[in-house]
Structure 1
C-alpha cells in the first residue's frame, strides 16, 4: 500500500469510478465542452477537458473529465486528443451543443481553429468565447495602449522583484509591519485581524490578480518605502542600490500615486464583473445587464470621479 505504483493504481481506479458515475448521470443527453491548454511546471503542454450539461432534475453541472498531455498545441493535435478521449468513453461529437474556449487562435480561429474543426463535423456545436476572458482582454488592451499605465505596471513588477529579491528583504518587510502595528494604538486585535501581508505578484494572463497586487501595495506603501531606503543605504550591489533609488523616487511621485488609486478603482469595478461572469448560475440576460451597469459605472467615474480622486 505504500508503494508509489500501488498508490497510483488505486487513484486511477477511483478516477474511473468517478467518471463512470458522471457518464451515468449524463446518459445519452447532449452536452457542451470546455477546453483549455497550458504549460505545466515541467514544461509539458497539458489540455484540460470539462463537460457541461443539465442533469435529470435540471441542474447545470460542470464536471472535470481529464487532463491530457499534448505534444503540440495545434488545432489538429488538440482535435485528435479530444477524439481519442471521446472514443475511450464512448462519447459522440454529434451530441455536442456548445464549445467554450478562450480567444487563442489555435482554439477559436475562424478557419483553422479547434472550434472550426468541430463545427465541420457538427454544426450545432456553437462556440462561446469565455466572457470573463474577454473582459480580461479589454483591460489588457486598455492598459497596454496607455504608455503611462503600461510604465506604471512595469514599475510595479520591478518593485515586487526588488523588495522580494532575498529572504532578508522579505523578513525586513515583515518586521516593519510588526513595528508599525505596535506603534498604532487603534489597531484591532483578534482572530484573523492584521495578518502578515506580502506583495502579491500579478499573473501574466489573469488581470484580475492585478487588483490584489495594488491593494497590497496600498496597504504596505510606507513599509515598502522603508525597505527601499534600506536597500539604498545598506545594499552591497551598486546596481541594486541604483534600482532601489529609482523606484523610491517613482513611488513618491504624483504620477505613481495617481495611477495607483486610479487603477485600484477601475480594477475594483471590473473585478466585480469578472467574478460575476464566472458564477455557475449566471445566465446570458443577467450577464448582459452586468456588463451594461459596469460600463455605466466607468462612464460615471470618467465624468464625475476625477475631482474626488485628485
Structure 2
C-alpha cells in the first residue's frame, strides 16, 4: 500500500468510480458545461471540465468531471478534447444547454471560438459569460484603457513592493499601524468589533508613507533611497490622492455586486437588480457627486499637507508641445478628464458586459 505504483492505481480506481457515479446521476438529463484552461507545474496545458445539471430531487448540482491535457488552447483543440471526453463517458452534445467560459477570444469568439463551434452542432447550447468574471473585467479595462488610472495602479504596485520588500519593513508598518489604532481607540475616535479596526486591517496611506521614509533614510543603496523618494513624492501629489479616492469610491459601489455574484447559492434575481443599482449609482455619482467628492479629497490633502490646486487655474496639457500654448484648467482636468471620463468608461463597460438580453435570458431560465 506504500508503493507509489499501487497508490496511483488506487487513485485512478477512485477517479473511475466517482466519474461513473457523476455520469449515472446525469443520465439523459440536460446539462451545462463550464471550462477553463491553465498550465500546470510541468508547463503542460490542462483543461478543467465541470458539468452542471439538476438532479432528481430538483437541486442544481455542479460536478468536476475531468482534467484533460490539451496540446494547445486553440478552439479546435479544446473542441476535439470535449468530443473525446463526452464519447468516453457516453455524454451527448445534443443534451447540452449551456456554455460558460472566460472572455478569451479562443473561448467566446463569434466565429472561430469554442462557443461558436459548439453552437454549430447544438444551437440550444446558450453561452453566458461568468458574471463575476465580467465584473472583474470592467475594472481591468478601466485600469488599462485610462492612462491616469493605469499610472496610479502601477505606482500602487511599486509602493506595495517597496513597503513590503522585507520582514523588517512589514513589521514596522504593522507596529506603526497598531500604535495608531490603539491611540484612536483610547480617544474613542474609532470603535473595535469583529472585522472592524483589527490589527491586521489594511494600513492607512500615512503609515505606508512613514515606512517609505524609513527606507529613504536607512536605504542601503542610492537606488533604494531614490525609489523611496520618488514614491513619497508621488504619494504626496494631489492627482494621486484624487485617483485613489475615486477608485476607492467606484470599487465600493461595485463591491456589493461582486460579493453577490460570487455567492455559492446565488440569487440570480437579486444579482440582476444589483447590476441595475450599480449602474444607477454610477450615474448619480457622475451627475450629483462631484462637489462632495472634491471636498472629501481636498479635506484629506489639507490634513496631510498636500498642496491642493486652484481649480480655476490653468495647467499645461500633458503630452503636447508647450510651444503650442494649449492649456486647460485644473477643473477641466479633474472634473472632465478624470472624474467623468473614468465613471463613463466603467458605466459603458457595465452596459457592454451586462446587456439587457443576457439578464433577460437568465431571468427566464
Deviation at 1:136, TM superposition (A): 2.4
CA gap of 1:40–1:301, structure 2 versus 1, over 3 A, is farther
Instruction: With the length of structure 1 as denominator, give the TM-score of the two structures.
Output: 0.83
SS in 1 for 2:84: helix
Deviation at 1:282, TM superposition (A): 4.3
Distance in 1 separating the partners of 2:32 and 2:194: 44
State the match for 2:154 in structure 1.
154
Distance in 2 separating the partners of 1:189 and 1:275: 23
State the match for 1:304 in structure 2.
288
Indicate conservation of the 8 Å contact 2:163/2:169, yes or no: yes
Question: Are 2:259 and 1:275 equivalent residues in the alignment?
Answer: yes
Gaps of 5+ in 2: 296-365
Question: Are 2:55 and 1:71 equivalent residues in the alignment?
Answer: no
2:277 to 293, 297, 303: 293
Aligned residues, how many?
291
State the match for 2:58 in structure 1.
58
Instruction: With the length of structure 2 as denominator, give the TM-score of the two structures.
Output: 0.72
State the match for 2:362 in structure 1.
none
SS in 2 for 1:129: coil
CA gap of 1:110–1:271, structure 2 versus 1, over 3 A, is same
Deviation at 1:283, TM superposition (A): 6.2
- 1:122-201 to structure 2, matched below 5 A, reads 122-184=122-184, 185=186, 186=188, 195-197=198-200
Larger Rg: 2
SS in 1 for 2:128: strand
Deviation at 1:183, TM superposition (A): 4.1
State the match for 1:205 in structure 2.
none
Gaps of 5+ in 1: 199-215
Distance in 2 separating the partners of 1:305 and 1:267: 15
Question: Are 2:226 and 1:242 equivalent residues in the alignment?
Answer: yes
State the match for 1:222 in structure 2.
206
- 1:81-121 deviations in Å (ceiling 9; x for gaps): 21222122211111111111122111111121111221222
Deviation at 1:14, TM superposition (A): 3.1
Deviation at 1:4, TM superposition (A): 4.0
State which drifts further: 185-194 or 139-148: 185-194
State the match for 1:251 in structure 2.
235
- 1:44-123 to structure 2, matched below 5 A, reads 44-123=44-123
Alignment RMSD (CA, Å): 2.5
